[in-house]
Structure 1
């Protein structure tokens, strides 16, 4: 698959088929994703693939608590979202049926392999994620090339202690995301809704349009 086509059609899947994803496809995606860039080539990312029905149900139950609280905020108007009503309905279906997804890949990272350079700034630290999330995107793109869909979520990070205990994740290792993996029940999108490039890419100063020379 052409990489540009993959980038433009790897959206968040909310409806999954129940057919299992073969080990060889998962391993091929992990093989490709491990070449993603990360600071100092420390390679901090680790994965736990969850297929056990009871473990998936536990993850679903934990996921539902923060999701339903967020959903209540949307319905009351206390939480403003740019998503269309259908997208919220789809996300609720995903939450309710998370345990039915064929596999959940838990994205982990060794803390010793991260080197955030923004800890002293008066804002949320995000730099450490630069050594984690490129690998997640590469994993999703590699699966897309096999016709396998994904949904990346961070809501379960609210329950990191419980997830770590459930999956035997050791001290010094964090959870950074959970990725639902399976064949799409409704196919892949042909066009994703995104801001036009004129609103996100600037030249020399923030807000100045980037123009072709």
Structure 2
């Protein structure tokens, strides 16, 4: 598959088929993903691929509490409300079906090996993610190229201690993302809604337009 096509059609999947993802498909994806850039090539990451149903059920139960609280705080709705916004209903359907998703890839990081050069700035520190999330995105693209869909969540990071207990993750590692992995029920999207390039790419100084709007826009 062409890389640009994979990037433009790699939307978040909410409905997965129960078919297992073969190990050779997973291996090929992880083998490619490991080349994601990271500060100092310190390679701080490891993965736990959860396929055991009882373990996935445990993760589902841990997920539902933070998901319910998040939607209550952000939307003012309950996740079981049939009149909740569509994105809530779609994501809730996935949450309840989490044990049926073929695999949940838990991304772990040794934060002592992550470069965090913005730790002393008076704002939320984000730079450490540059040594973490490119690998996760590589994994999603490598899976997409093989017809496998993904959905990324970070809500379970809020209950990290419980996740570590369930999956026997060493204390010195942080959990930084959970990736749902499986074949999609529906076809991959052909169009994802994103802001046009003209709105967020600037020349030399922020706010100075680099690309002219396309004719007809």
CA distance in 1, matches of 2:183, 2:211: 40
> CA deviation digits over 1:165-202, x for unaligned, max 9?
11111122111100000000112111011111112211
The Cα of 1:73 is off from its aligned counterpart by: 3.3
CA distance in 1, matches of 2:165, 2:62: 13
CA distance in 1, matches of 2:16, 2:71: 21
Aligned to 1:190: 190
CA distance in 2, matches of 1:71, 1:51: 27
Residue 58 in 1 paired to residue 62 in 2?
no
Name which of structure 1's ranges 109-118 and 179-188 shifts more when overlaid on structure 2.
109-118
CA gap 1:75/1:41 in 2 versus in 1, 3 angstroms: closer
The Cα of 1:74 is off from its aligned counterpart by: 4.6
- In structure 2, stretches of 5+ residues that fail to align are 78-83, 213-217
- Give yes or no for contact 2:201–2:211 (8 Å, CA) kept in 1: no
CA distance in 2, matches of 1:88, 1:22: 30
The Cα of 1:75 is off from its aligned counterpart by: 4.5
> CA deviation digits over 1:24-57, x for unaligned, max 9?
1111100000111111011111000001111101
The Cα of 1:113 is off from its aligned counterpart by: 1.6
Moved over 3 A (4+): none
- In structure 1, stretches of 5+ residues that fail to align are 78-83
Residue 133 in 1 paired to residue 133 in 2?
yes
The Cα of 1:206 is off from its aligned counterpart by: 1.6
For 1:76, what is the secondary structure of its paired residue?
coil
TM-score (norm 1): 0.93
For 2:210, what is the secondary structure of its paired residue?
coil
CA distance in 2, matches of 1:62, 1:178: 12
Aligned to 1:44: 44
CA distance in 2, matches of 1:101, 1:137: 19
- Give yes or no for contact 2:198–2:211 (8 Å, CA) kept in 1: no
Computed over aligned residues only, the root mean square deviation of the Cα atoms, in angstroms, reads 1.5
CA distance in 1, matches of 2:142, 2:92: 26
